[in-house]
Structure 1
Amino acid sequence: MTDRARDRRGREREGTTMTVTTASPLSTGYAMTESPRWHEGRLWFVDMHRRQVVAVDQAGRAEVIVDVPGQVGGLGWLPDGRLLVVAQDLRQILRLEPSGRLVVHADLSGTVPTLLNDMWVDAAGRAYVGEMGFDAHEWFDANSDVAASWFAGDVSVLDVPAKSRLFVVEPDGSWRVGADDLVFSNGIVVDEEKRTLIVAETFGARLSVFGLDADGSPRRRDLWPLGFYPDGIGLDGRGAVWVTDPVRKQARRIEYGGAETGRVTTDQTCIGCAVGGEDGQTLFLCTSPTTEPEQALARLGSRIDTASVAGIA
Structure 2
Amino acid sequence: MTTLESIKELRNRMSASIIGQDRLVERLILVLLADGNMLLEGLPGLAKTRAIKTLAKELNCGLSRIQFTPDLLPSDITGTEIYQPELKEKFVFQEGPIFSNLILADEINRAPAKVQSALLEAMEERQVSVAGKTYKMDPLFMVMATQNPVEQEGTYPLPEAQMDRFIMHVTIDYPDDASEIKIIRLNREEQKKAPTEEQQRLEPKVIFDARKEIASIKISEAMEKYIVDIISATRYPSKYGKDLSKWLDYGGSPRASIAIDRTSRVHAWMQGRDAVTPDDIRAVVHDCLRHRLILSYEANADGVAANEVTDEVLKQVAVVA
**Normalising by structure 2, what TM-score?**
0.24
User: Which structure has more strand as a fraction of its residues?
Assistant: 1
**Normalising by structure 1, what TM-score?**
0.24
